[in-house]
Structure 1
C-alpha cells in the first residue's frame, strides 16, 4: 500500500472523532448557561434517578480514567452538583449522588442536548437516524470487547 494514497477520511475512526469533537464543542456552548459542562453529563446521567455510586464505579461506567473522574467530581462538588456520603460497607470509600440543584438542572440540560442532536441529524430520515444509532452501538460493543481482549494480552 502506497502511503501517499492514504485517505484518512475513508475510515470511520477520524470521522467519528471529528463528530464527537463537534458534539462536545456544541454541547459545551449549550450547557454553559446552565453551569454545566459536557464532562459532567455521564455522571449526571448515571445518578439522575437518585442512585449513589462510588468514584471507581463512575469511572468504570463512563470509561474515564480515575484521575479525570476525580477532577470532574471535585469540580461538581465545588459547584454544588454532587454530594458525598460514606459508603456503608467501606468507610474508606464514599458514594456520590446528585444534589437537588443538579436534579433541577437536568430537564433543561437534556432539552439543550436533545435539540443539538436533532439539529445534527437534520436531513436524516427516521430510519437513517435509527440505523446510525444501531451501528454506533454495535461499533462501541466491538471496541469494548477489543479493549478487554487487548488488556488480557
Structure 2
C-alpha cells in the first residue's frame, strides 16, 4: 500500500512555492528601476568595474551561452551594459556595466534588503541563521541531484 500523497509535508514543494512568491515580489519591486531578476547575476558579476566575456558570465550565472546572449542583448538595448573588443581574442568582446547600471546597483540592493527584511520579519536572529544553514544544505543536495 502506498503512502497518502501529502504535498504540504514536502519541504521542497513549500520551498518552490515560496521561491516563486518571492521572485514575483522582487520583479515587482525592481521593475521601477528597470532591472529584472534574471539580470542580477550579471550586475553582481560586473560590479566594481569588472569586464567579463559572455562565456564567463554564462558560467558565473549557471546558464547556457544562448540564454546569456539573449539576456545581454536585452541589457545592452536597455542601456545597462556595453561591450568592447577583447584585447586577448578578436572574436570575443568584454562586457561591462554602463554608468546608468552602476547608478542602479545601490537602489537595487536596497530593494533586495527591504524584501529580505519584510519576508523574514518573523524570524529571530537564531532562526534566521538556522534557516540559512538549512537552505544551503538543501542547495547542496539539489546540486548533487544534477550530477
- 2:27 match: 28
Query: Is 1:2 equivalent to 2:28 in the alignment?
Result: no
- 2:125 match: 126
- 2:107 match: 108
State the alpha-carbon separation in 1 of the partners of residues 85 and 45 from structure 2.
Answer: 19
- 2:139 match: 140
- 1:83 match: 82
State the alpha-carbon separation in 2 of the partners of residues 95 and 141 from structure 1.
Answer: 31
Per-residue CA deviation, residues 73-106 of structure 1 (Å, 9 max, x unaligned), is 1111001100112222221112111111000011
Higher-strand-fraction structure: 1
State the alpha-carbon separation in 1 of the partners of residues 6 and 105 from structure 2.
Answer: 41
Task: Using the TM superposition, give the Cα deviation of residue 117 of structure 1 relative to its aligned residue in structure 2, in angstroms.
Answer: 1.1
CA RMSD of superposed structures (Å): 1.6
State the alpha-carbon separation in 2 of the partners of residues 35 and 53 from structure 1.
Answer: 22
State the alpha-carbon separation in 2 of the partners of residues 76 and 14 from structure 1.
Answer: 32
Task: Using the TM superposition, give the Cα deviation of residue 10 of structure 1 relative to its aligned residue in structure 2, in angstroms.
Answer: 2.1
State the alpha-carbon separation in 1 of the partners of residues 141 and 45 from structure 2.
Answer: 22
TM-score of the two chains, using structure 2 as the length reference: 0.91
State the alpha-carbon separation in 2 of the partners of residues 131 and 109 from structure 1.
Answer: 26
Task: Quickly say closer, same or farther: Cα 1:142–1:57, change in 2 above 3 A.
Answer: farther
Runs of 4+ in structure 1 over 3 Å off: none
- 1:64 match: 63
State the alpha-carbon separation in 2 of the partners of residues 100 and 124 from structure 1.
Answer: 37
Q: Secondary structure at the match of 2:48?
A: coil
Identify unmatched segments of 5+ residues in structure 1.
none
State the alpha-carbon separation in 1 of the partners of residues 32 and 88 from structure 2.
Answer: 38
